């Protein structure tokens, strides 16, 4: 994963070698997780939708995964 710049959204999608997608936390360089489960093994559209919603929550002043 590339280093985060100030223009990089907090949550980004990352394609896994097997062709599925993971929502990554660009701040920690780890998969985003909820309820103890990584947001991985997703279709591209699902990963993009989740990342977009998480980034909207952050922009609205909420920490969506706490």
pLDDT of residue 61 exceeding 60: yes
At 54 the pLDDT is: 95
Instruction: Indicate whether 18 belongs to any domain.
Output: yes
pLDDT of residue 59 exceeding 80: yes
Please give the structure tokens belonging to residue 8: 């990089």
Instruction: Indicate whether 26 belongs to any domain.
Output: yes
Alpha-carbon distance 45 to 29, whole Å?
21
At 5 the pLDDT is: 62
Alpha-carbon distance 53 to 21, whole Å?
16
10-39 mean pLDDT? 95
Instruction: Indicate whether 6 belongs to any domain.
Output: no
Give the CA angle between residues 1, 9, 6 to the nearest 5°. Answer: 85
Give percent above pLDDT 70 in the chain.
89
pTM over 0.85: no
Instruction: Indicate whether 28 belongs to any domain.
Output: yes
Strand-pair category, 21-25 with 30-31: antiparallel
Print the domain residue range for 47: 11-59
């Amino acid at each position: 994963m590339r280093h985060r710049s100030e223009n990089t959204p907090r949550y980004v999608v990352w394609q896994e070698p097997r062709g599925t997608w993971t929502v990554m936390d660009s701040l920690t360089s780890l998969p985003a997780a909820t309820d103890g489960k990584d947001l991985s093994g997703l279709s591209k559209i699902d990963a993009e939708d989740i990342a977009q919603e998480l980034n909207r929550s952050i922009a609205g002043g909420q920490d969506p995964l706490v």
